[in-house]
Structure 1
């Protein structure tokens, strides 16, 4: 079975711009490609798992999200990520099937790519990311961006690991892997 790292997109891999539909505004951390290469060399499959509720809210289209994701892949190298899993459901929908914190997107990846969640990680900046990872059986890394709210407080306590940056999260993954 394979091991994987699942990444949230906004405020994890790219700077969060709410309801981003202009792919020219994407900002990624300098050296992201080298950091992702470290994970690939360690044998991890890499995925992006993202809620994009702006589609359900009518603030952007699935095509807008696709343009942004394609630009992201061009900027870091399209060979790093196996697949991008997206939920367009809004947070106020009565029943949500795909939206984080539901583990549905992770379960789809585990089935398609024969992934062992017990050897895998979920990295994100929100409580929903931590819960999604926990709900699927992955180790979780909460990137603490210094938010002073209840979600951040709870995420810090529920995550397997807490870091203050994406690159620090990758260091944690590789150090845990080598234990």
Structure 2
């Protein structure tokens, strides 16, 4: 619709009436169809009809401009993360619900390699994890510490561990999707939240990153809901595995 209108104006300015007329008819027909779809549900008052007619002319170029601006924005090179934060379960290690046994800790494929490379490159890394099993009485603080120690034994040291042990109804400010874990991790690592990238497997990770002003990368698993993946495709980044996620965070898909 917008291109038809622009072509009509351009041909008219070039004193080419025939193509200007064809382009103008195309623009008018598409605009009328758009307006009709918006008018039919009603109400059909004179004021509403006038409003629909005017806005049906304005919306297509506004929408096209918004789309083009978004295309330019998402294709700009993203600055490399100054620190990377990881969710724990189903991101760094396979999820064992309410795990209180260090012997059940199993890293996901590629975790050891990407962490080794990040440390070699001098990029601070941290873990931000919800562990409501403590509040529910399913995990003791000592068992949680033992499991986290096993993660470090297998994957190396992290610059910070930020863990929320509260349940959903506790009203804390740290449980993802709230930003507390991310902002505290950034402070502990000596960077701003906006300089961090949080890599996780569910929508709460992406929402926590956004709430803190950080960027998020979703690495879906079979447990990740389709709606969470779709939302991440619109507002964040989606990666096929941990290595690709780190590559996106560092501005290099081939990381």
TM-score, normalised with respect to structure 1: 0.86
* Structure (1/2) with the larger helix percentage: 2
Selected match of 1:157 from 219, 222, 234: 234
* Structure (1/2) with the larger strand percentage: 1
Measured in 1, the distance between the counterparts of 2:187 and 2:102 equals: 31
Greater relative contact order structure (CA < 8 Å, 6+ sep): 1
From the CA coordinates, give the structure whose radius of gyration is larger: 2
Q: Deviations over 1:60-89 (max 9, x none)?
A: 1111111100001001123xx111110001
Measured in 2, the distance between the counterparts of 1:177 and 1:44 equals: 17
SS in 2 for 1:50: strand
Measured in 2, the distance between the counterparts of 1:152 and 1:105 equals: 22
2:38: which partner in 1?
A: none
- In structure 1, runs of 5+ residues without a counterpart are none
Alignment of 1:137-176 (within 5 A): 137-146=213-222, 147-159=224-236, 161-176=237-252
Whether the 8 Å contact between 1:143 and 1:166 is mirrored in structure 2 is yes
- In structure 2, runs of 5+ residues without a counterpart are 1-80
Aligned-pair CA distance for 1:177: 9.7
Aligned residues: 173
Selected match of 1:26 from 105, 110, 113: 105
The verdict on how the C-alpha distance between 1:150 and 1:32 changes in structure 2, with shifts beyond 3 A counting, is closer
Measured in 2, the distance between the counterparts of 1:177 and 1:42 equals: 16
Q: Deviations over 1:90-115 (max 9, x none)?
A: 0133x122111111122223333321
Measured in 2, the distance between the counterparts of 1:25 and 1:54 equals: 16
1:84: which partner in 2?
A: 161
Measured in 2, the distance between the counterparts of 1:24 and 1:18 equals: 14
Whether the 8 Å contact between 1:39 and 1:174 is mirrored in structure 2 is no
Q: Deviations over 1:14-62 (max 9, x none)?
A: 0001000111011113443221122223332100000000111111111
Selected match of 2:179 from 81, 98, 103: 103
TM-score, normalised with respect to structure 2: 0.62
Whether the 8 Å contact between 1:4 and 1:120 is mirrored in structure 2 is yes
